[in-house]
Amino acid sequence: MKRHLKVFVFLILARGIDISAQRPQPLKIEADVLDYYVAEFHSVVKTNPDQFTKVRSVIKDYIENRFEISARRLEMLQQLRLLIQRPKSTDEEILRATSEFDKADADLQANQVKFLTTVAPLLNPRQQARVRIFQQVADRRLLQMINTARNPEGQK
């Protein structure tokens, strides 16, 4: 359960949701997320062995890009927080940081679109729909696990 919680926490971070938590070893977490995503993708989307072989490298690229973009996005979010708390921050500094944050958001969306358009020709329409459902369910499940971890008393 703890391993899955770590994996899910970083999936949410990768999707751009801000969670105040200390970041564990990035390479280990990235590998765990990739393992989880690949296994669940294969199971939920119901790919055949040939499809799975082709899709696995696309998933790997998607997750690696997601981590890089998410790290940049979180860094910009922290910078924005510092800038708005600092009374002497200039409008130019704030606008520059806001622009970089927005670019990271756009890059997350572009990575998502690239992933979906790359796997689409490899999957039938039913599997393409399962991919989208899988992504939504995984993120929702992650949020539930985070909320349970934050407030175990409230879950009784």
pLDDT digit string (tens) for the chain, length 156 residues: 455 545 555 555 545 444 434 444 556 667 777 787 888 888 999 999 999 999 999 988 998 898 899 889 999 999 999 999 999 999 999 999 999 999 999 999 999 999 999 999 999 999 999 999 998 887 776 556 556 656 766 555
In angstroms, the CA 85 to CA 20 distance is 18
Distances (CA, A) of 34 to 61, 94, 118: 10, 35, 17
Q: Which residues contact 100 (CB under 8 A, 6 or more apart)?
A: 72, 76, 79
Q: Domain spans of the chain?
A: 2-150
Residue 156: CB atoms within 10 A of its CB come to: 4
Q: Is 21 exposed, middle or buried (0-12, 13-18, 19+ CB in 10 A)?
A: middle
Which helix H or strand E contains 10, and what residues bound it?
Answer: helix 2-15
In angstroms, the CA 48 to CA 73 distance is 35
Q: Is the pTM of this model over 0.85?
A: no
Q: What is the pLDDT of residues 21-48, one digit of tens each?
A: 444 455 666 777 778 788 888 899 999 9
How many DSSP H helices and E strands does the chain contain?
5, 0
Residue 52: CB atoms within 10 A of its CB come to: 16
